[in-house]
Structure 1
């Protein structure tokens, strides 16, 4: 038996080894496999219908559906929407029964690279791409090219039989190519909305954190807009050559495709596409962010353009996004209390946010933050820098001033005169109106899947690793089993004043004597300084403000989040919204479409959008209201048990100790012996030493920093994984960089 098995056995209560407990585990294991198989069957059917769209099979199914009471619109929803509904419904049950301790993800045990952690492409246009991601990209390209080829071959045969002139045939082929580019683009648009449903059960089911999903959304966005742009250009070229360009451009027909809404939708999409390019997104984030709200115009006018049954081919993913968006809207309406704010000498601000005891999160989680004093529309993502073990009633985030929004926040916090560490009664310098979405991240503590860790951070990328360090120290103090044995933290910063960030870890206070229980090594690189700065009183610039915010009424809502959501109520909300959507679709057909023979295509497309909204905001909101009441009641009971005053006193002691540690530099993790000045880390040398010292182990490499840092680390991971050395070390690359 391997050591991890032995450790997990020791850590398992005796009652869980009883015959009844073993039977229960066997039943859950069997149920998991049944659900797993059914979800895969549904997924294959969904993909199959999309891939086989050019074939006669799907056409025959739609013809049969047209003769039913729901008509072709209902048939399209069944073919392209029902499989996703089944996956989401079964996935809710699967996640709920998999939340037991014995069903947690186990550690990796074989010395071999894995598709999802092996960097296959590094310097290409997609950034660092894993082997699994590359395989999906190839399949996606094959689907697009194969579908277009099938359409063109079929159209060529039809057009070749027509008794027309060659010029007319070529123009018709151009229009057909445009038509099929739009058809394929419609399915790509459906995929486009799935990754941005942050708390969607579909993302949680495959355990893809939103920072990875956002990358897939960017890729799909480029593909979708390229297809839609080609779709529009083909028609413009054909109309121009036929001499009817102006007539078609201003056409808004009632029966068939309406051109004007399509042009509006395409213009909105092009605006989003242009402002999402890396240069604009990096240097003019506000322009990118505000322009991206045009997705509402993009979707609504697309539905007006194509009508109801064509839009329904992509309606299911859009509806799942709408479900998530409405739930996030409900969560973000609540004002959240800032319990304390600390401004470090480097300008980095730490905010401590009130949360209910029932809201759980992992050390690699992140939240979206809105501060209405600064902007009513902007939401910014920040990694959680605290461990769940730091306190049941609060979590913390680190914010580095890099742009206008973050600099204004820093100025707000640092304006009030400095306080002494013992003064914990002063309110924040201003009344911050804060809203929070999340937390998001992996379903389980992913950093515990490895026995050996290399954490590579650049600048403020240290934030999630601060959470990991605090989490590991708390777990070591509690004598938990199966924790990483070796941890190497590599941190590159520009200036030495940034090193104060690691002082808030306060390692020795969390776990006295931790150096005897875990092999924790740090290598810090200050790239823009040749020697340490002289003591210049920077410590005196550390200021902290503790708010008098009510920890009970001003805590976060836990309606949304990965791993913290009540799965049963989330399922009830989803099912009730779907039922509401179906009911409104049926009522619309019976009392509007069937009774109005002159109903236009564009109005039917608009009716589908309205049915989505009504199903979510009327039927779904009732479930959300009951869910919220229940969560508030549970939180109130938990706070009574925890005694709110004692919790506040404990929190104040926690903040006081952290401030003292940061101000006085007690038990610093960063010291002259592990700090290097004037150069960047040599990853080839570092990974070589790790291979020699650790030998024959799996190593989880987690990177959070700029793209150049990711690429450097990924290259070394790939290089060493391809070597067939005697003492082999397999490096599993994991990126935790977030880029909207």
Structure 2
């Protein structure tokens, strides 16, 4: 209803602009639009507070879980309340662990949709100073810690997780040890042996708690992370550290059980696959798969042998399946929200990547290259977004993440990335593109994304201080192009364009030529550039003077294939609303299937001696069936949604996939002629403007502290950094030192 009202307001404004109505009608139309925006803001505010209350309740239950209160009071009452004939004992865990997170995910999607709609229509006219409290929570407070750079908000969540983990461990073991005397009397084992078994069990439960939060940071299209100012690429480090912690705890859990079985001379438990209760063999298989993932994810292996890391990390499927068979679906449903949302996201990524993407052109420099794709007009993204790219001719299995260098509003039908020529994968692709006789007339590509911030928050500053090192300059090109769009479409009296100070450090002159890729391959932006206060300070650190580069910038155009598609979100233009619908529908479908299965299969009775009795179903069979229902619900609903959206936009995609034919030479027509490469000097007026705004210094690095502290303290400065970790840490420490309260730090680099 709210979306319809918004569309109505827009149509009313368009009609009145053509009809030239009297002033009273114009005033009423403006008042209606203003009231509508106020209502949208109010809804966003209410949703945010509602989500905060749900999150607080969810965390509170986790705090109470290891205590006696939970075991003796809360758990029996919740079990009685949810133990219906349709869900059995699983009902409590679904209701307690799953429902709150699914509610947050669905309402988070609605919140992000409203926020995106509102900010896409609003133009920043003046800088919002914001509150000092909000500025404090966004300020970096930890720079050189083991977790890297942490803002106050991230530190709060980190401390909360660690405190909850310590509480979980201590209370679980303490409460468990109180039951040791009764266990000793029942089994006749020694006290230390019973304590060893109890500690092993409780530590496993602590590991299950860590596993419950492990998958949230790697859900790329997450509606939960943006609510606290995070993106999937910025929070991947939390997945890494929680993964290390989870596997350490599970390894300790397994070792303690091996010691316990050896102490009581029951080592035959190692090969036990019980028909009811925990299956030890399943736990050992799960642990082995987890250890293989754990060992190969460390930097020496991950960076030098990426494919080994990539292939072994796919064992997470095996790990989760056998973990569920080991602990049972009751305990596995502690992890239900994270695993469910990750599985849905992973399947949507699979469906999106099954399309062959239309590659329009490539601009090849001596040490880097830009690739331009066709994009659907409704596929909008903000600055500093990224996508994952696969080129089958280079590697069918490898996916690499790249920051998007274009603007979805300046270039509504294309999307570009810049790739630095370093590493095996990028060098192989560079050799294909830079060949004298280009072999691919059609370059096949698949993508996942785009992902990134929900809004262009960088517009809310007086000055953008963009600090980059090497290929880290890429995300800033997209920000500058967004400013060009504002300069081209918004009147001066109704806009705010921040000043731009770009500080870029390069190793040599060949890397310096990356500035030639700042502007799109087509179009003239002379007038727009003149309206932006752009200053570029370039530092060539390993040379004392500019070295002439003989190799010219080459542009390669690719021909159109009938199987090509433009880049679009997996769930189309209104992907946040569709994601909310898919989460809701798939979860309800799972509950329906689970209820029917429980009633007509798990609760089935057989006639014995004239009486109906329940027959026993093997635990592994029951757990496997529940996992199957979980997966089939996601697959069916997500597939239906994607197919419906694709059918609805099929004609539009066919037209957009042909974008770029008019840009190229006759050799790139769809008649099968080869792609054509042209040499061109970057001598156009727009690039002359960029070069004239550039000051070059050789043989030294930028003095970042001096540069950062020289700005007017009354101006709001956005300090964006993209580059090596040393550069990010230096800028973060300056912004967090308190020497200048007007500096607002933001890291644009991948932290993994």
- Asked if these proteins are the same fold (TM beyond 0.5), I'd say yes
**Which residue does the alignment assign to 2:535?**
521
User: Are 2:41 and 1:25 aligned?
Assistant: no
Q: Tell me the secondary structure at the aligned position of residue 710 of structure 2.
A: helix
Contact 1:182 1:227 in 2 (8 A): yes
What does residue range 312-351 of structure 1 map to in structure 2 within 5 Å? 312-346=333-367, 348-351=368-371
Deviates more, 1:86-95 or 1:550-559: 550-559
User: Are 2:296 and 1:279 aligned?
Assistant: no
Distance 1:608 1:442 in 2: 35
Q: Tell me: CA distance 1:104–1:175, structure 2 relative to 1, closer, same or farther (3 Å).
A: farther
Distance 1:731 1:93 in 2: 32
User: Are 2:509 and 1:496 aligned?
Assistant: yes
**Which residue does the alignment assign to 1:78?**
95
**Which residue does the alignment assign to 1:403?**
423
Report deviation, 1:207.
4.8
Distance 2:390 2:50 in 1: 40
Contact 2:461 2:717 in 1 (8 A): yes
Q: Tell me the secondary structure at the aligned position of residue 273 of structure 2.
A: coil
* Cα deviations by residue, 1:298-334 (Å, 9 ceiling, x for unpaired): 1111111111111112112211111111111111111
1:437 to 431, 448, 465: 448
Deviates more, 1:162-171 or 1:454-463: 162-171
**Which residue does the alignment assign to 1:453?**
464
Q: Tell me the secondary structure at the aligned position of residue 18 of structure 1.
A: helix
User: Are 2:251 and 1:229 aligned?
Assistant: yes
Q: Tell me: CA distance 1:569–1:652, structure 2 relative to 1, closer, same or farther (3 Å).
A: farther
Contact 2:565 2:653 in 1 (8 A): no
Distance 1:673 1:611 in 2: 60
**Which residue does the alignment assign to 2:620?**
602
2:725 to 690, 696, 707: 707
Q: Tell me the secondary structure at the aligned position of residue 212 of structure 1.
A: coil
RMSD over aligned Cα atoms: 3.1
Distance 1:526 1:391 in 2: 31
Report deviation, 1:248.
1.9
Distance 1:308 1:111 in 2: 46
**Which residue does the alignment assign to 2:177?**
156
What does residue range 285-324 of structure 1 map to in structure 2 within 5 Å? 285-324=306-345
Distance 2:535 2:456 in 1: 21
TM-score for both structures, normalised by structure 1: 0.87
* Cα deviations by residue, 1:497-543 (Å, 9 ceiling, x for unpaired): 1111111224997542567533322121112222221x35232xx22
What does residue range 464-613 of structure 1 map to in structure 2 within 5 Å? 464-479=475-490, 481-506=494-519, 510-512=524-526, 517-533=531-547, 535-539=548-552, 542-549=553-560, 553-559=564-570, 564-595=573-604, 597-613=615-631
User: Are 2:645 and 1:627 aligned?
Assistant: yes
**Which residue does the alignment assign to 1:260?**
281
Contact 1:16 1:22 in 2 (8 A): no
**Which residue does the alignment assign to 1:44?**
56
* Cα deviations by residue, 1:576-621 (Å, 9 ceiling, x for unpaired): 2112211221232223322373222233222222111110122332
Distance 1:288 1:104 in 2: 44
Report deviation, 1:65.
4.6
Contact 1:559 1:565 in 2 (8 A): no
User: Are 2:385 and 1:365 aligned?
Assistant: yes
**Which residue does the alignment assign to 1:421?**
none
Q: Tell me: CA distance 1:126–1:67, structure 2 relative to 1, closer, same or farther (3 Å).
A: closer
Contact 1:250 1:260 in 2 (8 A): yes
Q: Tell me: CA distance 1:506–1:667, structure 2 relative to 1, closer, same or farther (3 Å).
A: farther
Report deviation, 1:206.
4.3
**Which residue does the alignment assign to 2:242?**
220
Distance 2:58 2:479 in 1: 38
Q: Tell me the secondary structure at the aligned position of residue 379 of structure 2.
A: coil
Deviates more, 1:97-106 or 1:177-186: 97-106
Distance 1:454 1:366 in 2: 21
Q: Tell me: CA distance 1:545–1:509, structure 2 relative to 1, closer, same or farther (3 Å).
A: closer
Contact 2:270 2:280 in 1 (8 A): yes
Contact 1:504 1:659 in 2 (8 A): no
Report deviation, 1:62.
4.4
**Which residue does the alignment assign to 1:243?**
265
What does residue range 80-119 of structure 1 map to in structure 2 within 5 Å? 80-101=97-118, 107-110=127-130, 112=132, 114-119=135-140
Q: Tell me the secondary structure at the aligned position of residue 662 of structure 1.
A: coil
User: Are 2:139 and 1:130 aligned?
Assistant: no
Q: Tell me: CA distance 1:118–1:621, structure 2 relative to 1, closer, same or farther (3 Å).
A: same
Unaligned runs of 5+ residues in structure 2 are 1-16, 18-25, 605-613, 667-674
Contact 1:197 1:321 in 2 (8 A): yes
Contact 1:456 1:704 in 2 (8 A): yes
Q: Tell me: CA distance 1:570–1:428, structure 2 relative to 1, closer, same or farther (3 Å).
A: farther
Contact 2:713 2:742 in 1 (8 A): no
TM-score for both structures, normalised by structure 2: 0.86
Distance 1:673 1:218 in 2: 40
Distance 1:658 1:382 in 2: 25
Report deviation, 1:430.
4.4
Count residues with an aligned counterpart.
698
* Cα deviations by residue, 1:63-88 (Å, 9 ceiling, x for unpaired): 31574211111221111111112122
Distance 1:713 1:166 in 2: 63
* Cα deviations by residue, 1:253-304 (Å, 9 ceiling, x for unpaired): 1211111111111111111122212222222222222211111111111111
Contact 2:286 2:319 in 1 (8 A): yes
Q: Tell me the secondary structure at the aligned position of residue 442 of structure 1.
A: coil
Distance 2:678 2:78 in 1: 64
Distance 2:638 2:203 in 1: 35
**Which residue does the alignment assign to 2:163?**
142
User: Are 2:396 and 1:376 aligned?
Assistant: yes
